[in-house]
Copies of this chain bind each other. A is one copy, B any other.
Amino acid sequence: MATDYFANIPPIAFEGPDSTNELAYRFYDKDRVVLGKRMEDHLRFAACFWHTFCWPGSDVFGAGTFNRPWHRGANDAAAAADKRAVAFDFFTRLDIPFYAFHDVDVMAEAHNVAEHRRNFAEAVDDLERLQAASGRKLLWGTANMFGHPRFAAGAATNPDPEVFAFAAMQVRDAIEATHRLGGANYVLWGGREGYETLLNTNLGRELDNFGRFLSLVVAHKHKIGFTGAILIEPKPHEPTKHQYDFDTATVYGFLKRYGLENEVKVNIEANHATLSGHTFEHEIATAAALGIFGSIDANRGDPQNGWDTDQFPNSVPELTLAMVEILRAGGFTTGGFNFDAKVRRQSMAPVDLFHGHIGGIDTVARGLLNAAALIEDGRIDAARAERYAGWDGAFGQQVAGLDLAGIADLAVSSAIDPQPRSGQQERLENLVNRFV
């Protein structure tokens, strides 16, 4: 029976760096206090339904390899219930506090609006029971508005108002379910909010519809009293040629345009960051600087492959730098680390799901420990601060108080001849390597 799926895998526990047990945490020690906070509270790990329980191991060139019991046959009520039960067993065995889902991930397949609402409502009832029984919590909920053929041309940006309405129906139910389940956030990933060709696209009109949809969601959130954060997830391309939520800076401009910059934050995915031409830590630092840092979808891409590979994070240096930026930003409030990551198509054994998550969790945990050590050491922050020290001096203060002509006159009268100074990049990179 499906709920026995992981029966032979013991609960995963912290055993320390020297443990040779491959099914244990070597670094993630949830109660260890780092910079004044428990690791569990710092990292707020979540596992996701879609990659881990819904995806059958298919890709563009081949059929699913996973053959989970609940993938055989139709996705009916029984299969959906099995899937939910196995998932909560998994979350519990991993001993992480959170999970995340799309509406269609957790429910039996529906063929019309009424069936959608009914099947989803049944699933939510069950999730509520499973949460209570397991002590697991919802990091965020969302609605899948990209998988069904009706969303081929987008959801909120679809040229057809009926699709906009269908999306509104899904989001209303999904945000209300998230609220009821005590979710900490509600996420919108604009899966097909973008275009394939400008030839058939009215860019301005689609952006306005997208802005309006988001405004409606924000208004509804307040109406129902949901106090979690609304998050947008940037991605530059894929599945569409151009995604409107290209990167964090683009999302910021979009939010400003529709007056939503104080209402909506970003859910940053590592693989989306690198596909958009940025480092993961750049996206975090940018969101922090712009005041819209929300949450993280933890994964990694392949630097040689130009698509979203959604692999589990395994680079300790990368996660160290990302954690430095998260700590500088004050850490998470409602957000957390959700594993939007999938085991490879060849990793079809049930235990591979554990290896993937354990590796990811320990990589992030090492990143936190390293980042905390680096910050406590203080040398990198000191070097950075020293670089800008001139702005605190007399000349800097003068420049800060003058208009363009005044500053230009000052430059002339002072006959300034500023000399370049070393940015010390290699030294700072060596310092980082002391902590990874």
Chain B neighbourhood of A149, CB < 8 A = 57, 62-65, 67, 420
**Oligomeric state, in copies:** 4
Q: A203-B286, A404-B172 are in contact. Are A61 and B146 (CB under 8 A)?
A: yes
Chain B neighbourhood of A307, CB < 8 A = 238, 306-307
Chain B neighbourhood of A321, CB < 8 A = 198
Q: A216-B407, A285-B198, A289-B203 are in contact. Are A418 and B349 (CB under 8 A)?
A: no
- Mask: chain A, 267-309; 1 = CB below 8 Å from B; 0 = not: 0000000111111011001101110000000000011111110
Q: Are A169 and B306 in contact (CB under 8 A)?
A: no
Q: A161-B391, A286-B203 are in contact. Are A426 and B277 (CB under 8 A)?
A: no
Q: Are A344 and B207 in contact (CB under 8 A)?
A: no
Which of chain B's residues has its CB closest to A244's CB?
Answer: B249
- Mask: chain A, 187-217; 1 = CB below 8 Å from B; 0 = not: 0000110001111111111010000000011
Q: Pick from A146, A149, A252, A257 the residue with the most CB of B within 10 Å.
A: A149
A134 part of interface (Cβ distance < 8 Å): no
Chain B neighbourhood of A151, CB < 8 A = 62
A72 part of interface (Cβ distance < 8 Å): no
Q: Are A387 and B200 in contact (CB under 8 A)?
A: yes
The residues in A between 97 and 113 inclusive whose CB is less than 8 angstroms from any CB of B are 112-113
A408 part of interface (Cβ distance < 8 Å): yes
A378 part of interface (Cβ distance < 8 Å): no
Q: How far is the CA of A364 from the CA of B107 in the complex (A)?
A: 48
Chain B neighbourhood of A16, CB < 8 A = none
A41 part of interface (Cβ distance < 8 Å): no
A38 part of interface (Cβ distance < 8 Å): no
In the complex, which of the residues B22, B247, B305 contacts A427, with contact meaning CB atoms closer than 8 Å? Answer: B22
Chain B neighbourhood of A278, CB < 8 A = 242, 304
Q: Pick from A161, A314, A427 the residue with the most CB of B within 10 Å.
A: A161
A262 part of interface (Cβ distance < 8 Å): no
Which of chain B's residues has its CB closest to A343's CB?
Answer: B426
The residues in A between 49 and 63 inclusive whose CB is less than 8 angstroms from any CB of B are 57, 59-63
A117 part of interface (Cβ distance < 8 Å): yes
Chain B neighbourhood of A159, CB < 8 A = 387-388, 390-391
Q: Are B347 and A242 in contact (CB under 8 A)?
A: no
Which of chain B's residues has its CB closest to A406's CB?
Answer: B168
Chain B neighbourhood of A198, CB < 8 A = 279, 281-282, 285, 321, 325
Question: Closest approach, in angstroms, between the C-beta of A297 and any C-beta of chain B?
Answer: 15
